[in-house]
């Protein structure tokens, strides 16, 4: 079975949904293919700076997300060796382009907000792309369960193992030898933390946290791995 789409987006992550919503705001219809059976809302916090908020405002979701997340006031870096604050930056001071705006978005909330503003049926779940081929001015997108979709415009937002990037013969991902562990901690009675980003550095390890709202805290740790370690996408 074949169908034709004006704009086909592969991947329903932040990039894919934001692209679809931007097109929708301009009156352009698109279809988003997602390989999983539902919206993959698991994940972590995303430290979102001023320019990102301008983009979210352009998408029409900025104010809704502001209501759900704290305005962060400062970032501090602390040495794990000395225990002293080595640097500090205030987000409350006005910059050359105006006021700063920094918040830590919960990825689940961001994805659900983007998806909610899309027309019903925009996202097609359980639609795994396995092969792409040229067909004149169209692209034939083959799905794992058999269907073929003809696309006039094909946009790849399908992550590190991107089928679209492979078809375009783009450079393969490079292993940076850094690994990260991160997550969200929930405090039902409130965490009581100051609205700031705190990071600790030392011996090739960086860890820290940032409050997302009054009850959620994003935490992370990054470190240098062994040169023999395999890339996580293999």
Q: In the beta sheet, which residues pair with residue 199?
A: 77, 208
Residue 172 included in any domain: yes
Enter the DSSP assignment of 75: E
CA distance 140 to 137: 10
For the domain that residue 171 is a member of, what is the CATH number? Answer: 3.50.50.60
pLDDT digits (tens, 9 = 90+) for 156-213: 999 888 999 999 999 888 888 888 999 999 999 999 999 999 999 998 899 999 999 9
Token pair belonging to 57:
């405002």
Q: Euclidean distance between the first and final Cα of the chain, in Å?
A: 32
Domain that holds residue 198: 2-224
Radius of gyration of the chain (CA): 21
CB neighbour list of residue 31: distance below 8 Å, 6 or more residues apart: 5, 7, 8, 9, 122, 124, 149
**HSE-up of residue 232 (Cα within 13 Å, Cβ side):** 9
Residue 1: is its pLDDT beyond 90? no
- What's the chain's average pLDDT? 93
- Classify burial at 38, counting beta carbons within 10 Å of its beta carbon; exposed 0-12, middle 13-18, buried 19 or more: exposed
How many Cα atoms are found within 13 Å in the side-chain-facing hemisphere of 81?
Answer: 6
pLDDT in tens, 31-69: 999 999 999 988 789 999 999 999 999 999 999 999 999
Position 224 scores a pLDDT of 87
**Phi and psi at residue 58, to the nearest 5°:** -65, -30
Number of domain units in the chain: 1
pLDDT of residue 204: 86
> pLDDT tens, 209-231?
999 999 999 999 999 887 666 66
d(CA 88, CA 75): 6
pLDDT at 230: 63
Whether 107 maps to a domain, the answer reads yes
Q: Is the pLDDT of residue 234 over 60?
A: no
Asked, for residue 233, whether it belongs to a domain, the answer is no
Q: Is residue 212 part of a domain?
A: yes
pLDDT score of 229? 62
Q: Which pLDDT belongs to residue 228? A: 64
**pLDDT, tens digit, 9 for 90 and up, residues 128-167:** 999 999 998 999 999 999 999 999 999 999 988 899 999 9
Whether 114 maps to a domain, the answer reads yes
0.85 exceeded by pTM: yes
| Residue 42 within any structural domain of the chain | yes
- Specify if 53 maps to a domain: yes
User: For 79-108, how does the pLDDT look when each residue is reduced to its tens digit (9 = 90+)?
Assistant: 998 999 999 999 998 877 778 999 999 999
- 87 assigned to some structural domain: yes
């Amino acid at each position: 079975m074949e169908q034709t789409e004006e704009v086909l987006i592969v991947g329903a992550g932040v990039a894919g949904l934001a692209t679809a919503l931007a097109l929708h705001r301009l009156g352009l219809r698109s279809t988003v293919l997602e390989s999983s059976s539902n919206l993959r809302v698991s994940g972590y916090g995303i430290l979102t700076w001023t320019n990102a908020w301008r983009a979210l405002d352009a998408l029409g979701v900025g104010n809704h997300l502001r209501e759900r997340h704290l305005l962060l006031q400062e970032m501090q870096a602390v040495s794990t060796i000395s225990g002293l604050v080595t640097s500090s930056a205030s987000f409350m001071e006005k910059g050359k382009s105006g006021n700063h705006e920094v918040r830590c978005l919960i990825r689940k909330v961001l994805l659900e907000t983007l998806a909610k503003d899309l027309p019903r049926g925009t996202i097609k779940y359980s639609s795994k792309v396995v092969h792409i081929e040229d067909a004149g001015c169209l692209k034939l997108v083959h799905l794992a369960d058999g269907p073929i979709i003809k696309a006039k415009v094909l946009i790849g937002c399908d992550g590190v193992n991107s089928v679209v990037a492979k078809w375009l013969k783009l450079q393969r991902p490079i292993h940076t030898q850094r690994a990260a562990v991160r997550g969200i901690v929930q405090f039902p009675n409130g965490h009581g933390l100051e609205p700031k980003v705190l990071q600790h550095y030392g011996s090739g390890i960086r860890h820290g946290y940032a409050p997302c709202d009054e009850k959620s805290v994003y935490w992370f740790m990054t470190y240098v791995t062994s040169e023999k370690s395999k890339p996580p996408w293999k």
